[in-house]
Chain A
Amino acid sequence: MLHNTHMAQVIPCTEIHYVTGTWTMTAGTVAGMIAKHKAAGAETAVVTVPVQIPSNSIALQGAKLTSIELDYELAAAAATSVTAVLHKVVRGIEGAVAVASHPTITQSLVAAAGAETEDTHKLVVTLSTPAWIDNDDYYLCEFSFVFGGAVTVDIFAAVVNFTLRV
Protein backbone atom coordinates (compact mmCIF):
# COMPACT_ATOMS: atom_id res chain seq x y z
CA MET A 1 0.00 0.00 0.00
CA LEU A 2 1.31 3.45 -0.81
CA HIS A 3 1.19 6.17 1.80
CA ASN A 4 2.34 9.65 0.79
CA THR A 5 1.92 12.49 3.26
CA HIS A 6 3.01 15.33 0.96
CA MET A 7 0.36 15.37 -1.78
CA ALA A 8 -1.21 18.61 -3.02
CA GLN A 9 -3.85 19.62 -5.58
CA VAL A 10 -4.31 23.02 -7.15
CA ILE A 11 -7.89 24.30 -7.44
CA PRO A 12 -7.96 27.07 -10.07
CA CYS A 13 -10.02 30.21 -9.61
CA THR A 14 -12.38 28.96 -12.32
CA GLU A 15 -13.48 26.07 -10.10
CA ILE A 16 -14.20 28.23 -7.07
CA HIS A 17 -17.77 29.37 -6.24
CA TYR A 18 -18.64 33.04 -5.75
CA VAL A 19 -21.78 34.53 -4.22
CA THR A 20 -22.57 38.25 -3.86
CA GLY A 21 -20.75 40.87 -5.88
CA THR A 22 -19.77 41.33 -9.48
CA TRP A 23 -17.14 38.74 -10.40
CA THR A 24 -15.36 38.53 -13.72
CA MET A 25 -12.50 36.57 -15.25
CA THR A 26 -9.46 38.82 -15.59
CA ALA A 27 -5.76 38.57 -16.14
CA GLY A 28 -3.81 38.32 -12.91
CA THR A 29 -1.72 41.17 -11.59
CA VAL A 30 1.37 39.35 -12.83
CA ALA A 31 1.40 38.76 -16.62
CA GLY A 32 0.55 35.17 -17.46
CA MET A 33 -1.62 34.57 -14.41
CA ILE A 34 -5.38 34.29 -14.21
CA ALA A 35 -7.79 35.62 -11.61
CA LYS A 36 -11.41 35.97 -10.67
CA HIS A 37 -11.87 39.66 -9.91
CA LYS A 38 -14.51 41.26 -7.74
CA ALA A 39 -15.45 44.86 -8.41
CA ALA A 40 -15.62 47.29 -5.51
CA GLY A 41 -18.80 47.17 -3.49
CA ALA A 42 -19.70 47.44 0.19
CA GLU A 43 -20.97 43.93 0.75
CA THR A 44 -20.05 40.53 2.11
CA ALA A 45 -18.94 38.12 -0.59
CA VAL A 46 -18.75 34.39 0.02
CA VAL A 47 -15.99 32.51 -1.79
CA THR A 48 -16.20 28.75 -1.51
CA VAL A 49 -13.45 26.36 -2.53
CA PRO A 50 -14.68 22.87 -3.42
CA VAL A 51 -12.01 20.55 -2.04
CA GLN A 52 -11.64 18.28 -5.03
CA ILE A 53 -9.40 15.41 -3.94
CA PRO A 54 -10.03 11.64 -3.99
CA SER A 55 -12.10 9.81 -1.42
CA ASN A 56 -12.61 6.17 -0.55
CA SER A 57 -15.40 4.01 0.81
CA ILE A 58 -12.97 2.10 3.07
CA ALA A 59 -12.02 3.74 6.35
CA LEU A 60 -8.47 5.13 6.54
CA GLN A 61 -7.95 4.88 2.78
CA GLY A 62 -8.05 7.46 0.00
CA ALA A 63 -7.22 11.03 1.01
CA LYS A 64 -6.73 12.55 4.44
CA LEU A 65 -7.37 16.29 4.22
CA THR A 66 -4.80 18.36 6.08
CA SER A 67 -5.02 21.98 4.96
CA ILE A 68 -6.28 24.39 2.31
CA GLU A 69 -4.36 27.45 1.10
CA LEU A 70 -6.01 30.39 -0.68
CA ASP A 71 -4.00 32.88 -2.75
CA TYR A 72 -5.68 36.29 -3.15
CA GLU A 73 -4.93 39.98 -3.38
CA LEU A 74 -6.85 42.84 -1.81
CA ALA A 75 -6.37 46.13 -3.64
CA ALA A 76 -7.36 49.80 -3.34
CA ALA A 77 -8.07 49.47 0.39
CA ALA A 78 -8.19 46.96 3.19
CA ALA A 79 -11.23 44.78 3.69
CA THR A 80 -12.96 44.59 7.04
CA SER A 81 -12.26 40.90 7.56
CA VAL A 82 -11.65 37.57 5.85
CA THR A 83 -12.98 34.60 7.81
CA ALA A 84 -12.66 30.93 6.90
CA VAL A 85 -15.09 28.17 7.77
CA LEU A 86 -14.73 24.54 6.73
CA HIS A 87 -17.86 22.60 5.92
CA LYS A 88 -17.96 18.83 5.89
CA VAL A 89 -20.94 17.78 3.81
CA VAL A 90 -22.34 14.30 4.32
CA ARG A 91 -24.42 13.56 1.25
CA GLY A 92 -28.01 12.53 1.81
CA ILE A 93 -29.38 9.22 0.72
CA GLU A 94 -32.13 9.29 -1.90
CA GLY A 95 -34.91 11.55 -0.61
CA ALA A 96 -32.86 13.03 2.22
CA VAL A 97 -31.01 16.31 2.46
CA ALA A 98 -27.30 16.50 3.06
CA VAL A 99 -25.97 17.29 6.52
CA ALA A 100 -23.19 19.80 7.07
CA SER A 101 -20.87 20.01 10.04
CA HIS A 102 -17.98 22.34 10.68
CA PRO A 103 -14.66 20.76 11.63
CA THR A 104 -12.42 22.85 13.83
CA ILE A 105 -9.81 24.77 11.90
CA THR A 106 -7.20 27.44 12.42
CA GLN A 107 -6.42 30.14 9.89
CA SER A 108 -2.85 31.38 9.49
CA LEU A 109 -3.87 35.03 9.19
CA VAL A 110 -6.22 36.58 11.73
CA ALA A 111 -9.54 37.53 10.12
CA ALA A 112 -9.43 41.24 10.96
CA ALA A 113 -5.77 41.59 11.84
CA GLY A 114 -3.74 40.22 8.94
CA ALA A 115 -6.01 38.55 6.40
CA GLU A 116 -7.86 41.76 5.56
CA THR A 117 -4.93 44.09 4.72
CA GLU A 118 -4.35 45.62 1.30
CA ASP A 119 -1.75 43.13 0.13
CA THR A 120 -1.11 39.78 -1.56
CA HIS A 121 -2.07 36.95 0.75
CA LYS A 122 -1.59 33.24 1.22
CA LEU A 123 -4.15 32.21 3.82
CA VAL A 124 -3.69 28.68 5.17
CA VAL A 125 -6.61 26.89 6.77
CA THR A 126 -5.47 23.89 8.81
CA LEU A 127 -7.73 21.20 10.19
CA SER A 128 -7.19 20.63 13.89
CA THR A 129 -7.83 16.95 13.23
CA PRO A 130 -7.01 15.90 9.66
CA ALA A 131 -9.85 13.86 8.20
CA TRP A 132 -10.03 10.82 5.93
CA ILE A 133 -12.68 11.47 3.30
CA ASP A 134 -15.44 8.93 2.85
CA ASN A 135 -17.01 8.62 -0.58
CA ASP A 136 -20.24 9.98 0.87
CA ASP A 137 -18.51 13.10 2.15
CA TYR A 138 -17.02 16.17 0.60
CA TYR A 139 -15.54 19.37 1.95
CA LEU A 140 -16.15 23.01 1.12
CA CYS A 141 -13.84 25.69 2.44
CA GLU A 142 -15.74 28.97 2.69
CA PHE A 143 -14.14 32.38 2.96
CA SER A 144 -16.35 35.33 3.92
CA PHE A 145 -14.91 38.60 2.65
CA VAL A 146 -16.45 41.63 4.37
CA PHE A 147 -15.80 44.61 2.14
CA GLY A 148 -16.06 48.34 2.53
CA GLY A 149 -16.88 50.41 -0.52
CA ALA A 150 -13.51 50.76 -2.20
CA VAL A 151 -11.71 47.44 -1.94
CA THR A 152 -11.41 44.93 -4.77
CA VAL A 153 -10.13 41.37 -4.63
CA ASP A 154 -8.45 39.00 -7.06
CA ILE A 155 -8.74 35.29 -6.30
CA PHE A 156 -5.89 33.38 -7.96
CA ALA A 157 -6.08 29.76 -6.83
CA ALA A 158 -6.28 27.41 -3.88
CA VAL A 159 -4.05 24.47 -3.03
CA VAL A 160 -5.25 21.50 -1.00
CA ASN A 161 -2.72 19.47 0.99
CA PHE A 162 -3.45 15.86 1.85
CA THR A 163 -2.13 12.40 2.55
CA LEU A 164 -2.83 9.78 -0.09
CA ARG A 165 -3.14 6.15 0.96
CA VAL A 166 -4.26 3.58 -1.62
Chain B
Amino acid sequence: MIHNTHMSQYIPPTLWHFVTGTFTSVAGTVSGTIAINRANANETSVITIPIMIPSNSVALQGAKLVSIEVDYVVKTGEPTSLTWTLNKVTRGVEGSVASVDAITKTDTIAAADSHAVDEHKQVITITTPEWVDNDVYYLLEISLIAGAANNTEHFLGAVANFTLRV
Protein backbone atom coordinates (compact mmCIF):
# COMPACT_ATOMS: atom_id res chain seq x y z
CA MET B 1 0.00 0.00 0.00
CA ILE B 2 1.16 3.52 -0.84
CA HIS B 3 0.88 6.17 1.87
CA ASN B 4 2.17 9.55 0.73
CA THR B 5 1.45 12.61 2.87
CA HIS B 6 2.75 15.19 0.40
CA MET B 7 0.42 14.91 -2.58
CA SER B 8 -0.93 18.04 -4.29
CA GLN B 9 -3.35 18.76 -7.09
CA TYR B 10 -3.37 21.96 -9.13
CA ILE B 11 -6.88 23.25 -9.90
CA PRO B 12 -6.81 25.81 -12.73
CA PRO B 13 -9.17 28.79 -12.67
CA THR B 14 -10.86 27.44 -15.79
CA LEU B 15 -12.50 24.81 -13.56
CA TRP B 16 -13.78 27.31 -11.01
CA HIS B 17 -17.40 28.39 -10.76
CA PHE B 18 -18.38 32.06 -10.86
CA VAL B 19 -21.76 33.56 -10.02
CA THR B 20 -22.63 37.27 -10.33
CA GLY B 21 -20.28 39.52 -12.20
CA THR B 22 -18.41 39.61 -15.46
CA PHE B 23 -15.64 37.05 -15.51
CA THR B 24 -13.35 36.58 -18.48
CA SER B 25 -10.28 34.56 -19.35
CA VAL B 26 -7.24 36.83 -19.58
CA ALA B 27 -3.47 36.56 -19.63
CA GLY B 28 -2.00 36.75 -16.16
CA THR B 29 0.12 39.66 -15.05
CA VAL B 30 3.20 37.49 -15.40
CA SER B 31 3.77 36.52 -19.00
CA GLY B 32 2.76 32.93 -19.67
CA THR B 33 0.28 32.66 -16.83
CA ILE B 34 -3.50 32.54 -17.08
CA ALA B 35 -6.18 34.18 -15.00
CA ILE B 36 -9.88 34.76 -14.72
CA ASN B 37 -10.59 38.47 -14.37
CA ARG B 38 -13.53 39.96 -12.50
CA ALA B 39 -14.54 43.28 -13.99
CA ASN B 40 -15.21 46.21 -11.71
CA ALA B 41 -18.79 46.46 -10.45
CA ASN B 42 -20.44 47.11 -7.11
CA GLU B 43 -21.81 43.62 -6.47
CA THR B 44 -21.34 40.47 -4.43
CA SER B 45 -19.70 37.73 -6.43
CA VAL B 46 -19.49 34.11 -5.34
CA ILE B 47 -16.45 32.20 -6.55
CA THR B 48 -16.35 28.46 -5.87
CA ILE B 49 -13.41 26.12 -6.26
CA PRO B 50 -14.27 22.42 -6.73
CA ILE B 51 -11.66 20.33 -4.92
CA MET B 52 -10.74 17.75 -7.51
CA ILE B 53 -8.89 15.01 -5.67
CA PRO B 54 -9.52 11.26 -5.68
CA SER B 55 -11.90 9.59 -3.26
CA ASN B 56 -12.55 6.04 -2.16
CA SER B 57 -15.50 4.00 -0.97
CA VAL B 58 -13.38 2.26 1.67
CA ALA B 59 -12.76 4.10 4.94
CA LEU B 60 -9.24 5.48 5.46
CA GLN B 61 -8.29 4.96 1.82
CA GLY B 62 -8.04 7.32 -1.12
CA ALA B 63 -7.34 10.95 -0.26
CA LYS B 64 -7.28 12.80 3.05
CA LEU B 65 -7.82 16.49 2.35
CA VAL B 66 -5.51 18.68 4.43
CA SER B 67 -5.44 22.18 2.98
CA ILE B 68 -6.19 24.33 -0.05
CA GLU B 69 -4.06 27.20 -1.31
CA VAL B 70 -5.58 29.92 -3.45
CA ASP B 71 -3.56 32.35 -5.55
CA TYR B 72 -5.28 35.59 -6.50
CA VAL B 73 -4.56 39.25 -7.08
CA VAL B 74 -6.54 42.25 -5.90
CA LYS B 75 -5.51 44.66 -8.60
CA THR B 76 -6.99 48.10 -8.46
CA GLY B 77 -8.87 49.36 -5.46
CA GLU B 78 -9.85 47.33 -2.46
CA PRO B 79 -13.07 45.30 -2.26
CA THR B 80 -15.06 45.48 0.94
CA SER B 81 -14.42 41.90 2.02
CA LEU B 82 -13.62 38.34 1.07
CA THR B 83 -15.20 35.58 3.13
CA TRP B 84 -13.97 32.00 2.84
CA THR B 85 -16.18 28.97 3.47
CA LEU B 86 -15.23 25.34 2.93
CA ASN B 87 -18.31 23.23 2.22
CA LYS B 88 -18.55 19.46 2.34
CA VAL B 89 -21.24 18.16 -0.01
CA THR B 90 -22.70 14.76 0.78
CA ARG B 91 -24.44 13.56 -2.36
CA GLY B 92 -28.03 12.46 -2.11
CA VAL B 93 -29.22 9.01 -3.04
CA GLU B 94 -31.56 8.76 -6.03
CA GLY B 95 -34.54 11.05 -5.36
CA SER B 96 -32.91 12.97 -2.52
CA VAL B 97 -31.12 16.29 -2.44
CA ALA B 98 -27.54 16.60 -1.26
CA SER B 99 -26.64 18.03 2.13
CA VAL B 100 -23.97 20.65 2.78
CA ASP B 101 -21.92 21.21 5.93
CA ALA B 102 -19.39 23.96 6.52
CA ILE B 103 -16.05 22.50 7.63
CA THR B 104 -14.05 24.02 10.48
CA LYS B 105 -10.82 25.51 9.12
CA THR B 106 -8.30 28.28 9.58
CA ASP B 107 -7.16 30.92 7.09
CA THR B 108 -3.55 32.13 6.93
CA ILE B 109 -4.64 35.56 5.77
CA ALA B 110 -6.98 37.32 8.15
CA ALA B 111 -10.26 38.57 6.79
CA ALA B 112 -9.12 42.16 7.22
CA ASP B 113 -6.04 41.54 5.06
CA SER B 114 -7.34 39.21 2.39
CA HIS B 115 -8.91 42.05 0.38
CA ALA B 116 -5.87 44.34 0.30
CA VAL B 117 -4.46 45.39 -3.06
CA ASP B 118 -1.69 42.83 -3.41
CA GLU B 119 -0.70 39.37 -4.64
CA HIS B 120 -2.24 36.83 -2.29
CA LYS B 121 -1.77 33.21 -1.36
CA GLN B 122 -4.54 32.26 1.01
CA VAL B 123 -4.08 28.87 2.70
CA ILE B 124 -7.19 27.21 4.07
CA THR B 125 -6.25 24.48 6.54
CA ILE B 126 -8.82 21.96 7.72
CA THR B 127 -8.81 21.66 11.49
CA THR B 128 -9.45 17.92 11.31
CA PRO B 129 -8.33 16.56 7.93
CA GLU B 130 -10.85 14.17 6.43
CA TRP B 131 -10.68 11.09 4.25
CA VAL B 132 -12.87 11.71 1.22
CA ASP B 133 -15.65 9.19 0.68
CA ASN B 134 -16.85 8.58 -2.88
CA ASP B 135 -20.24 10.07 -1.98
CA VAL B 136 -18.66 13.32 -0.82
CA TYR B 137 -16.91 16.24 -2.43
CA TYR B 138 -15.65 19.61 -1.23
CA LEU B 139 -16.24 23.14 -2.50
CA LEU B 140 -14.26 26.16 -1.34
CA GLU B 141 -16.44 29.26 -1.60
CA ILE B 142 -15.22 32.86 -1.71
CA SER B 143 -17.87 35.50 -1.19
CA LEU B 144 -16.46 38.75 -2.56
CA ILE B 145 -18.28 41.96 -1.64
CA ALA B 146 -16.85 44.42 -4.12
CA GLY B 147 -18.31 47.62 -2.74
CA ALA B 148 -18.03 50.94 -4.45
CA ALA B 149 -14.25 51.08 -4.75
CA ASN B 150 -13.04 50.63 -8.30
CA ASN B 151 -11.62 47.13 -8.01
CA THR B 152 -10.82 44.16 -10.19
CA GLU B 153 -9.33 40.81 -9.29
CA HIS B 154 -7.37 38.08 -11.03
CA PHE B 155 -7.91 34.47 -9.96
CA LEU B 156 -4.82 32.46 -10.84
CA GLY B 157 -5.26 28.94 -9.51
CA ALA B 158 -5.55 26.72 -6.47
CA VAL B 159 -3.64 23.77 -5.09
CA ALA B 160 -5.20 21.11 -2.89
CA ASN B 161 -2.84 19.30 -0.52
CA PHE B 162 -3.70 15.80 0.60
CA THR B 163 -2.50 12.43 1.78
CA LEU B 164 -2.87 9.60 -0.73
CA ARG B 165 -3.33 6.07 0.56
CA VAL B 166 -4.11 3.35 -1.98
A residues contacting B by CB (< 8 A) are 2, 4, 6-15, 25-34, 71, 73, 108-109, 119-122, 156-157, 159, 161, 164
Contacts and interface: CB of A to CB of B under 8 A. Distances in A.
A55 to B, nearest CB: 15
Contacts, number: 109
B56 A14 contact: no
Contacts of B16: 14
B157 to A, nearest CB: 14
A28 to B, nearest CB: 8
Interface string B10-51: 000011111100000000000000000000000000101010
A34 B61 contact: no
A12 B15 contact: yes
Given A32-B89, A34-B139, A164-B166, 14 more contacts: A2-B1, A4-B166, A6-B56, A6-B58, A10-B52, A25-B17, A33-B89, A34-B48, A34-B50, A71-B91, A73-B97, A108-B94, A120-B95, A159-B91
Consensus secondary structure, chain A interface? strand
Nearest to A157: B137
Contacts of A14: 14-17, 50
A6 B58 CA distance: 7
Q: Which of under 10, 10 to 19, 20 to 34, or 35 or more describes the interface residues of B?
A: 35 or more
A71 to B, nearest CB: 6
Contacts of A27: 19, 46
Given A4-B166, A34-B48, A13 B17 contact: yes
Interface of B: 1-2, 14-19, 46, 48, 50, 52, 54-58, 61-62, 85, 87, 89, 91-100, 102, 134-135, 137, 139, 141, 166
A8 B55 CA distance: 5
Contacts of B2: 2
A8 B134 contact: yes
Contacts of A9: 52, 54-55
A156 to B, nearest CB: 7
Given A27-B46, A34-B50, A161-B134, A8 B62 contact: yes
B134 A159 contact: yes
Contacts of B100: 30-33
B93 A122 contact: yes
Contacts of B98: 28, 30, 33, 71, 120, 156
Contact of A33 (B56, B134, B139): B139
Contacts of A10: 50, 52, 55, 137
Listed from nearest, the 9 A-B pairs whose CB atoms lie closest are A12-B50, A8-B134, A32-B100, A32-B87, A10-B137, A6-B57, A34-B17, A4-B166, A8-B55
